[in-house]
Every structure is written in structure tokens, then in C-alpha cells.
Amino acid sequence: MDTPTFQVKPAIVHPLWLRLCHWLNALAMLIMVTSGWRIYNASPLFNFSFPNELTLGGWLGGALQWHFAGMWLFGINGVIYLLINIFSGRLKRKFWPLSPRELISDFISALRGKLAHNDLNHYNTVQKMAYLFVMIDGIILVCSGFVVWKSVQFPLLRELLGGYESARLIHFFAMSGMVGFIVIHLIMVALVPKTLLAMLRGR
């Protein structure tokens, strides 16, 4: 008589709350970046503008409405993500310790296309730094965005950022950093498709 075999399901890599935060953040960033480009085009900081086909809102007023909607989604979702990470201990468990030697080694491996992704439960040092950068960059985006939006209501924040025009520059470069991360993130997902599956189904 054959002994019944039981198939063990793979362990959960990303819990449901993390997946929800990830996809809500992706939606918020898509709304904010594309509407932000339309807002930028109305008063450019530099001698270029973004193609209207890549922007959201149709006109300045519409872009501002989309941007504010995305702002609340991004802000509330970000606060929930950070609080759960901090109080669950995940932030410390997943992102520490950080080793400069491992960072250099992993970065060289990444440039050579040899960075290992065998264990999705474990972040290599490049991933740790990238995700920590996104968290800090997101905070900078929110703070500088408040100054650009309500400069008079946030005088201390405005002064800390060097004034209104300085806050606009900071907001632009923080946005550029976020877009750069997204591009690299999408390339890495294309190279390692199982990371997308884990973010969709948890395993």
C-alpha cells in the first residue's frame, strides 16, 4: 500500500499587508509622477518639458487634482507601511545589518549580472540600500511637496528646505531619484520574474 505524500506549500515571502502597500504605492507613484510632469510643464525649472502624452490631467487644474489625490494615497499608505515595518520588527530584521564591504561586493556582482536572488526572503545589501533610499526619498518628497503646496502654512519646513524655490528643486530631484529607482526596479523584475510572482501571490 502506497504511503500518501503531502505537498508542503512554499512559505509566504511577502505577507498580504506588504503586497497591498506595494501595489497601492505603485498606483500612487504612477498618478503623482505623471500628474507632476504636467504641473512641471506649466512652470518648468529647466530648459525642457515632458511630453504631454506621458502626463496626466489634461491641463494644470486637472493635473493638480490628480496630484493631490495621489498625494493622500501615497502619504497614508507610506505611514502605514513604515509603522508596520517598525513595530513588527521587520525593518530591523530585513534591512540590518548593513556592511560597506558586502555593499561593494554585491554592487560589483550586480554590474556583472551575477547578483544572486535564490532566497526571496533575504535581501542582499544592494536591495537593502535601494529600499532604504526609497523610504528616505519618499519622506523628502512629502516634506518638499508640502512646502510647494502650502508654503505659508509650513514656514519652519520651508526654512529648513532653504525656501520655496529650493523646495521645488528638492522635490524635482527627489522625484527623479524615485523614477530612477522604478526604472532599475522594473529591469530587475524582468531579469528575475519570480520576484513579481512573489509580490502577486505572496510565494
Q: Are residues 104 and 86 in the same domain?
A: no
Residue 3: inside a domain: no
Q: Which of 107 and 80 is assigned the larger pLDDT?
A: 80
Q: Are residues 64 and 111 in the same domain?
A: no
Q: Are residues 134 and 77 in the same domain?
A: no
Residue 6: inside a domain: no
Q: Which residues of 134-159 are buried (b: 16+ CB within 10 A; e: fewer)?
A: beebbebbbbbbbbbeebeebeeebe
CA 173 to chain centre: 14
pLDDT for residue 197: 87
Residue 203: inside a domain: no
Q: Are residues 146 and 189 in the same domain?
A: yes
Q: What is the pLDDT of residues 130-151, one digit of tens each?
A: 899 999 999 999 999 999 999 9
Number of domains in the chain: 2
- Whether residue 188 is predicted with pLDDT greater than 60 in this model: the reply is yes
Query: Domain span at residue 115?
Result: 99-193
Q: Which of 184 and 122 is assigned the larger pLDDT?
A: 184
